[in-house]
Structure 1
Amino acid sequence: MGLIKMFRRGDRVGVEERARVLMDTGGEAAISDVLNGEMLSDAVTMKEAMSLPGVWCAINFLSSAMAGFPIDVFEVVEGDGGDKKIQGGVADVLGAAINDTTTSYSWRETFFAQVFGPGRAYSYLERNRLGEVINIFPMEYERVTVRKEGHKVWYDHAEAGGRIKTYPAKDVIDLAFLLKPNFVQCYNPIQTCAAAIKQGLNANRYALTVFGKNGIPPYLLKGPFQAGKEMIRAAADLMKITRRSAEEGKPILPIPGGHDLVRLGDDPEKMQLTPVQIFAVGQVARIYQMPPVFLQELSKGNYNNMEHQDLHLVKHTLRRWVKKFEQELTLKIFGRNSSRYVKLNLDGIMRGDLKTRIEAIARAVQTGLLTPNEGRQLDNRPPKSGGDVLLVQGAMVPIEMAGKAFSKNMPSLDEAEPKEPKPE
């Protein structure tokens, strides 16, 4: 049976067996098998997906970014005074510590790692007798089952002891990567895009088999062999010499007379292994709608396009998750039609472009587009007395008014010239 045929018999040869054959043969496999996903089974587990650096980087970056935003709670106030920022109570639960053992940052980082990994995350809200949230407890994704009865959604959580506890939807923070039309199930980004992730995993495994034996590629030994034992003994002796030369750093490899070494397969440059790995990073960036620069793929990055990719990340990727998270927290904590709402502060990630933001707000205030208090509200600052009046700079006037302004404020030429005294 040929080696390539063996790799394509996925129903009879396991993944571990195929990996062992690859290592034993020095990586003699076609690059087409790598790209077609023949070196892995059809499914991709979370452990396998996280072993791909692009997936690991995307999940870590997005989850830590969402965990780093300050969380504020506001209450709508009628009038022009602006919304009131709430201190204490649920604001401290969301912003500082969700319970006695877990900080807000740790909770959100793990919460969003579940959203961007398996595709969904849950947390239970504990309330006091007044209905106020006093604690938030994370729920493991694998232990939660979502079901729908009529128009109501319920969450069955399997506790460590085997007991099933059911929670109503109003007490569970539920954030999905993308819900299905039944609003019960969700899409798993890892499984949905398994083919693209397998491509990157296969490229990494193929590279490991090619470069895994002290950087020595597979070769075919030719010689005047008369018997099989003689051929095996000659190959073993040559492997010992090759390994010793590699360890001692000797550039010359002695070969017995009448023997020859012929390389098997293509070299990495010809089979474009590096471009395949770069393409795999781009595929992961597409899955999570991220600019490749944030996955440390800088082959086509420069100062100008990296700055625009930074803006793209905030406008088209993080803004989406910020809005979903804000609305989910507001609905589950305060309910519908509440005057209170949750807001994430994006000033931290926009700090690098603070100069542009301040200049834009100042220009809007100076041209009468915003009042000073409206500009302060955009910067999450409290209003000031007298700041609700539209202002406009008066240094410039219509050209036809220039003479009138001059004649009104300046003395005439006759008055400006000194007069000679009249003779007596």
Structure 2
Amino acid sequence: MGLMGRLRRDRAVAEVAPEDRAQVLVDSGQMDSTATSIADVLNGGTSEGVTMKEALSMPAVWDAINFLSAAMAGLPIEVFEKTDETGGDTKLTGGVADVLGAAVNDSTTSFSWRETFFAQVFGPGRAYSYIERDRRGEVINLFAMEYERTTVRKVKGRLFYDYMEPSGRVKTYAGKDVIDIAYMLKPDHVNCHNPVMTCASAIRQGLNANRYALTVFGKNGVPPYVLKGPFTAAKEMMRAAADLMKVTRRSAEDGKPILPMPAGHDLVRLGDDPEKMQLTPVQIFAVGQVARIYQLPPVFLQELSKGNYNNIEHQDLHLVKHTLRRWVEKFEQELTLKIFGRGSRRYVKLDLDGIMRGDFKTRIEAIVKAVQNALLTPNEGREMMNKPPLAGGETLFIQGATVPLEMAGTAFNKNAPPAVGDGPAEEPDETTETTETE
């Protein structure tokens, strides 16, 4: 093939998705379908590379991204304004509170927007949304910006976002009008680390384990074999292997376990015992690697091989304290800054208590204790249970059964007689004494 022919071929290959490049070369006759360089073509010249599509095909990665994005989307989101009164900050309703908590625009709910937003954060590593304001500067809509169409640049210390619309027109947004959350920013605060690409080798291990399991247990139960024979050329060997694959597959489908072999050829079955190959431990280890990437306790990736009641409960606490809390604070501060600006008395807050909604008994007990110990008013407790306020429910109450030991039984009973030594004795009735003397 001449130089121009190779250039046209390379250009045609570059224009297709990485996972389809091998098939293009095979179809064009430029690469044998059994060549060992298929992995290099798929992975850009390295056996450790992984595409986003491949990573999502690994159940642990799929589960981690779905779980974290749904957890962040399910947290109640509210808007408050700082007050100087001792009664606490004021919860705001309507306007931007409805945009953030109910519907970010006419066609997207708050849950759907946040779920898609954080799926981009935990997948490609970054998510953007444009803030639309009215003439008074109040937020009226939020619109998602596709990760692949957005480019970030810095001019004199300020960020600008170039977004290529489907029409091909590029529109530039100022940093103050774009909600931007990255999995991990690089030192220039312009580019970010992609968790999938950064940890591609660990994810590749899991993908290879899954692929090997398919090789062992797939193909209608036909195990892998080694073909031995008087081969003199690589093409001859690959052709014989291809013919044998067709025969064994047909035999498995027809239920005929006996294969005739030509003279001088031998077919040796490879070991396919999962325990001897450590196939199960390798896949468990791969799930653990994904859990480390996303700082998730393994139980939330459905890895329960070492789970019990006690450590699962502690993993639940770990999730809130060390994983979700980080993303909650990052999201709260980003929304507060971009929506209200620096120095505003208004702020956005996500309620982590909402993650306990599934445990009704624990939630009720916590509210009751808070009300009985003057931490919450009854109406505040009812609000946490989505109940309407009642008259008299704005008063703080506290239990009166706990008193100093020396006052036990007398401190709160006005009709009880005083204890010995607690005070002077009553004066005798003089009229009664005179009558008795007489």
- Report the TM-score when normalising by structure 1: 0.76
**2:105 alignment partner, one of 99, 103, 121:** 99
| Whole-angstrom distance in 2 between the partners of 1:145 and 1:279 | 36
| Counterpart for residue 44 of structure 1 | 50
1:22–1:209: 8 Å Cα contact kept in structure 2? no
Find out whether 1:372 has 2:373 as its counterpart: no
Which residue number in structure 2 is paired with residue 355 of structure 1?
361
Aligned twin of 2:269: 263
How much does 1:207 deviate?
Answer: 2.3
**How do 1:388-407 residues align onto structure 2 when only pairs under 5 Å count?**
391-402=397-408
- Is 1:212 aligned to residue 218 of structure 2? yes
**Once superposed, what is the RMSD of the aligned Cα atoms?**
4.2
| Residues 194-232 of structure 1 deviation map (CA, whole Å, 9 limit, x = unaligned) | 111111112222222333322212334679x9999xx99
Superposed CA deviations along residues 262-315 of structure 1, whole A, max 9, x for unmatched, are 223664432212211111111011110111121122222233322322222222
Separation in structure 2 between the aligned mates of residue 234 and residue 146 of structure 1, nearest angstrom: 54
Which residue of 1 is the match for residue 171 of structure 2?
165
- The aligned runs of 1:271-350 (5 Å cut-off) are 271-350=277-356
Give the letter for the 1:262 counterpart. Answer: V
Q: Is the alpha carbon distance of 1:265 and 1:411 closer, same or farther for their aligned partners in structure 2, counting shifts above 3 Å? A: closer
Q: What does residue 253 of structure 1 align with?
A: 258
Distance 2:52 2:246 in 1: 39
Give the corresponding residue for 1:155.
Answer: 161
**Aligned residue in 2 for 1:77:** 83
Q: 1:66 to 1:398 in 2, by over 3 A?
A: closer
Structure 1 distance, partners of 2:238, 2:173, is 67
Whole-Å Cα distance in 2 between the matches of residues 130 and 237 of structure 1?
74
Q: Distance in 2 between matches of 1:306 and 1:58?
A: 17
- Structure 2: distance between partners of 1:271 and 1:123: 47
Q: Does the 8 A contact of 2:73 with 2:114 survive in 1?
A: yes
Aligned AA (1:207): A
Deviation at 1:137, TM superposition (A): 1.3
Q: Distance in 1 between matches of 2:77 and 2:201?
A: 37
Aligned residue in 1 for 2:424: none
- Indicate how the Cα distance of structure 1 residues 308 and 205 shifts in structure 2: closer, same or farther if over 3 A, else same: same
Amino acid at match of 1:47: K
Please report how far the alpha carbon of residue 331 of structure 1 lies from its aligned counterpart in structure 2 after TM superposition: 0.9
Q: For residue 149 of structure 2, what is the aligned residue in structure 1?
A: 143
Structure 1 residues 240 and 108 mapped into 2: Cα distance closer, same or farther (>3 Å)?
A: closer
Residues 39 and 304 from structure 1, CA distance in 2 versus in 1: closer, same or farther, beyond 3 angstroms? farther
Alignment of 1:5-44 (within 5 A): 16=22, 41-44=47-50
Mark the CA change 1:40 to 1:394 in structure 2 (over 3 Å): closer, same or farther: same
Pair 1:64–1:365, CA change in 2 (3 A): closer
Q: 1:408 to 1:309 in 2, by over 3 A?
A: same
Matches within 5 A, 1:58-137: 58-137=64-143
Instruction: Determine the C-alpha separation between the residues in 1 that align with 2:185 and 2:242.
Output: 58
The size of the alignment, in residue pairs, is 387
Q: Secondary structure at the match of 1:294?
A: helix
- 1:307 and 1:281 map into 2 onto residues whose CA distance is 20
Equivalent position of 1:190 in the other structure: 196
Unaligned runs of 5+ in 1: 1-13, 28-32, 414-421
Higher RCO (Cα < 8 Å, 6 or more apart): 1
CA distance in 2, matches of 1:394, 1:61: 45
SS in 2 for 1:277: helix
State the match for 1:418 in structure 2.
none
Distance apart, 1:359 and its partner CA: 3.1
Pair 1:69–1:254, CA change in 2 (3 A) = same
Distance between the aligned counterparts of 1:191 and 1:340, measured in 2? 38
Letter aligned with residue 403 of structure 2: V
> What letter is aligned with 2:191?
Q
Instruction: Tell me the SS of whatever aligns to 1:307.
Output: helix
Query: Which digits, 9 at most, give the CA deviation of each residue in 1:380-414, with x for residues without a partner?
Result: 8898887787654332433333475699634699x
Distance 1:23 1:268, change over 3 A: farther
Q: 1:203 touches 1:276 (CA, 8 Å); kept in 2? A: yes
Secondary structure class of the residue paired with 1:349: helix
Q: Note the C-alpha offset of 1:185.
A: 1.7
Q: Is the 8 A contact 1:242 1:253 kept in 2?
A: no
User: Helix, strand or coil for the counterpart of 1:60?
Assistant: helix
| Contact 1:196/1:283, CA 8 A, preserved across alignment | yes
| 8 Å Cα contact 1:157/1:166 also seen in 2 | yes
Q: 1:108 to 1:222 in 2, by over 3 A?
A: closer
Aligned pair in 2 of structure 1 residues 40, 384: CA closer, same or farther (>3 Å)?
A: farther
Deviates more, 1:380-389 or 1:145-154: 380-389
Structure 2: state its 5+ residue gaps: 1-19, 420-435
Shift of 1:234: 10
Structure 2 CA distance, aligned partners of 1:207 and 1:74?
53
SS at match of 1:67: helix
Contact 1:54 1:281 survives alignment (8 Å): yes
Change in Cα spacing, 1:290 to 1:240, as seen in structure 2 (3 Å) is closer
| Bigger mean CA offset, 310-319 vs 120-129 | 310-319
Separation of aligned partners in 2, 1:160 and 1:130: 29
Q: How much has 1:332 moved relative to structure 2?
A: 0.6
